Structure 1
Amino acid sequence: MPSMPAPIPLQTFPSDGVSIAYFDVGDGEPILCIHGFASTAHINWVYPGWVETLTKAGRRVIALDNRGHGASEKLYEPAAYHTRIMAEDARRLLDHLGLDRADVLGYSMGARITAFLAQRHPDRVRSAVLGGLGIHLVEGVGLPETIADALLAPSLEEITDPQGRMFRAFANQTRADRNALAACIRGSRNEMTAEEAGEIQCPTLVAVGTKDKIAGPPAPLAALIPRGEALDIPDRDHMPAVGDKIFKAGVVGFLGRRP
């Protein structure tokens, strides 16, 4: 069994007064990675081998802990987690690092943030990868708000909802701040209209597991985005798709093809 990659030291910067943790490794063209709900930069990108894959492909890899997650500041008002606000955290990290543009790779909630960033700041996003998020970007909001109830339940044993139980167990395992995560799920379930998705002008890869019931299928979303393309990740549900080798190969190939 391969050993777990070593943690990467984190730095912090202020994003409109909120402390955001991030790491910055490798050389080459920059790619900003934005993790999913209840995850962290390490859980989403280091441990499944993404940092190794991308640095070997000649990339500079930057990843942040979203507000309320990991080593970033915890906030407890749902309004603090609107997707537009979280997209500004990502944009300010590019500012902090002096980067005019970057490719952006997001997974699940991170893909939603990526889409909002690309739509609102088209000059900053060279290309976008929306992993674990298909047509539910515009039709439904992916994860249900009942996850917040599961996160705040007195114990795991009392939770009967399968998705809620999964995320509560994950939060317990990672020792996350469950109150902050509950506020996040309540504040970040924001849809984008089909017209707004059509304003995403950069090359965009939409990659979803074929067994993923959370994301919605990738092809209908890719069809809304002028330079969108879809990638099916075979036989993968939402969480197992994160580190899939076909997903990684698809992203590396996509980055190599884009202008």
Structure 2
Amino acid sequence: MPSAARVVHEQIPLRIHGVNLKVASVRRGGVDAPVVFLHGFGTSKEDYLDVLQRHEFAGRPFLAYDAPGSGATECAGLGEVDLPFLAETARAMLDRAGIGRFHVVGHLTGALTALLLAHKEPGRVLSFVNIKGVLAPEDCVLSREALNHRDPGDFLFKLAERSRETPCYGGGLYASNLPNKVQRGAVPTLFRSMVELADHGNLLQKFLSLPCPKMYLYGEQCAGLSYLPILDANGVELAEIPHSGQLPLYSNPVATWRQIAEFHARQLIPSARRW
């Protein structure tokens, strides 16, 4: 493996559920337990690359990649991309990188991907930072609305055009990036899967039952989520980011990275294996 100081960008060939992928990834090796970053719908691995500038993460091994249907990752079957497909891709990427146990940071659908993976293999996850991940039906307002249209992808992109002046923090930047970061053919299947899991997947209980330390991080515009008191009462650390909404890494990255770094520093969990 490369040294801790060397950052490697590469395309990883995988075959998931009979679909060929070339996964665009970035990683750094090292001897500590790595941090695995999973981006959300409409964003990409680059959202996390400020990890290279953060002194708290100096030398820490990490892995980030563009999920199938997103960014620079090539996918031969976009219609097959649902949340279980993304979770299986994550497992394959971890195995390919030789990662056994790891800390995970996931945003939106990336957090849901991490939750599905952690629920099946809870012993691998050392800690979980969930950035406004899907845990309940209330988290799927937009995806549910999109599925009521003949072409959910077309609806989504037209909505993004109209949302450049959104009152939500980071919304304009998100909307402008959407056409370059989302592959339209993946939208319907992914949204159907997300809504189904939010409605019937018992996601909140799955998250609460994970044995690792957990943080739920969200912007102040999301402070009305109904399940926040339940998370708090069950030992999940809550981190509300000021001047932010669903996209704290866009609107308040300094506070977001500080919360993630401080949470990691409190864990003091030794690495279980070398990367």
Q: Calculate percent identity across the aligned residue pairs.
A: 21
Taking the TM superposition and a 5 Å limit, the aligned residue runs for 1:45-194 are: 45-46=48-49, 49-53=50-54, 56-74=57-75, 75-77=77-79, 80-133=80-133, 136-142=134-140, 144-145=142-143, 146-147=145-146, 149=151, 151-153=153-155, 156=158, 169-172=176-179, 174=180, 176-189=182-195, 190-191=197-198, 192-193=201-202, 194=204
Residue 175 of structure 2 is aligned to residue 201 of structure 1: no
For residues 216 and 60 of structure 2, what CA distance do their matches in structure 1 show? 20
Using the size of structure 2 for normalisation, the TM-score is 0.74
Instruction: Identify which range, 122-131 or 11-20, moves more after superposition.
Output: 11-20
- After superposition, what is the alpha-carbon deviation per residue over 1:90-113, rounded to whole angstroms, capped at 9, x for unaligned? 122111111111101001111111
Work out the CA distance in 2 between the residues paired with 1:197 and 1:91.
18
**Counting helix residues as a fraction of each chain, which structure ranks higher?**
2
Please state how far the C-alpha of 1:121 moved relative to its aligned partner.
1.1
Q: Quick check: 1:91–1:117 contact (8 Å CA) kept in 2?
A: yes
Measure the CA separation in 1 of the matches of 2:65 and 2:73: 8
Deviation for aligned residue 1:123: 1.4
Partner of 1:3: none
CA-based RMSD of the aligned residues comes to 3.3
- Residue deviations 1:196-244 (CA, integer Å, cap 9, x gap): 233211111110001137x9367335337x5521111112122244452
CA distance in 1, matches of 2:254, 2:39: 18
Shift of 1:147: 4.3
1:130-170 Cα distance to aligned partner (Å, 9 max, x none): 0123xx5134343522346563159748966788x966643
Letter in 1 for 2:177: F
Question: Across the two proteins, how many residue pairs are aligned to each other?
Answer: 242
Structure-2 separation of matches of 1:25 and 1:55: 15
1:57, 1:218 → 2: CA distance? 34
Partner of 1:4: none
The counterpart of 1:31, out of the listed 31, 35, 39, is 35
Q: Measured at CA, do residues 182 and 209 of structure 1 come closer, stay the same or move farther in structure 2, by a change above 3 Å?
A: same
Change (3 A) 1:8 1:206: same
Q: 3-state SS of the aligned residue for 1:98?
A: coil
TM-score with structure 1 setting the length: 0.78
The counterpart of 1:21, out of the listed 4, 21, 24, is: 24
Equivalent residue, structure 1, for 2:273: none
Secondary structure at the residue paired with 1:142? helix
Name the stretch that deviates more: 139-148 or 97-106.
Answer: 139-148
Q: Distance in 2 between matches of 1:76 and 1:222?
A: 34
Contact 2:213 2:236 in 1 (8 A): yes
Is 2:68–2:78's contact at 8 Å kept on the other side of the alignment?
Answer: no
Q: CA deviation at 1:50?
A: 3.2
Contact 1:206 / 1:218 at 8 angstroms: preserved in 2? no
Give the aligned partner of residue 45 of structure 2. Answer: 41
Q: Which amino acid in 2 is paired with 1:109? A: T
Pair 1:220-2:229 in alignment = yes
Deviation at 1:245, TM superposition (A): 1.4
